[in-house]
Amino acid sequence: MREMVFATNNQHKLNEIQKITAGRLRISGLADIGCHQEIEETGNTLEENALIKARFVRERYGYDCFADDTGLEVEALEGAPGVYSSRYAGNGCNPVDNMDKLLTALQGNKNRAAQFRTVIALVINGKEHFFDGIIRGRIIEEKRGSGGFGYDPVFMPDGYDQTFAELGHEVKNSISHRALAMEKLVDFLYSYNLK
């Protein structure tokens, strides 16, 4: 089984990716390679931020690596919070602060359409590759559910009547933006015989 480093110190993300790729890839996080610092995301796009993190690990630690950046893109807010999703309510904010700001921004707005978009940057054998995953849905009017993380309690994917926070890990990990992007990454690795 191929081993890959995922450039994250976010245990929620690491657990999710490990579940998605179980039996196909062995995934290590930054802490596993001795990197305990937060890699600053200074890019203006999801692609730039993902690549910054993957390049950092490759250049400083020598590992082939992938990294992701995810944004919640809300139609009525012209794509915001987008690349700033994790710090939408300001530096030092938490997920509840971000959700509260989002719900306030959408108050009274009938257009609740939104999508989660994940971009994965892979740096391997001296080359860089990108994979993306999108799931469309809508922002509900109040938080529901205790599972998941981030905006999961307010995002309801199309075709479901529960939020990501209510669906449970098994369902979410089979349909999520991150799962879709990871499937493309795994397919790429297998198609190039990099097992």
Quick one: pLDDT at residue 194?
A: 47
The pLDDT tens digits for 138-185 are 999 999 999 888 999 999 999 999 999 999 888 998 899 999 999 999
CB burial of residue 79 (10 Å; 0-12, 13-18, 19+):
middle
Of 69, 158, 161, 187, which one is the catalytic site residue? 69
Which tokens go with 154?
Answer: 């307010």
Q: Is 119 helix (H, G, I), strand (E, B) or coil?
A: strand
Tell me the whole-structure pTM to 2 decimals: 0.89
Would residue 64 show up in a list of annotated catalytic residues for this protein?
Answer: no
pLDDT beneath 70, residues of the chain: 1, 192-195
Quick one: pLDDT at residue 168?
A: 87
Quick one: pLDDT at residue 173?
A: 85
Q: Which of 17, 8, 6, 9 is nearest to 177 (CA)?
A: 17
* Strand 2-6, strand 65-74: pairing: parallel
Quick one: pLDDT at residue 131?
A: 98
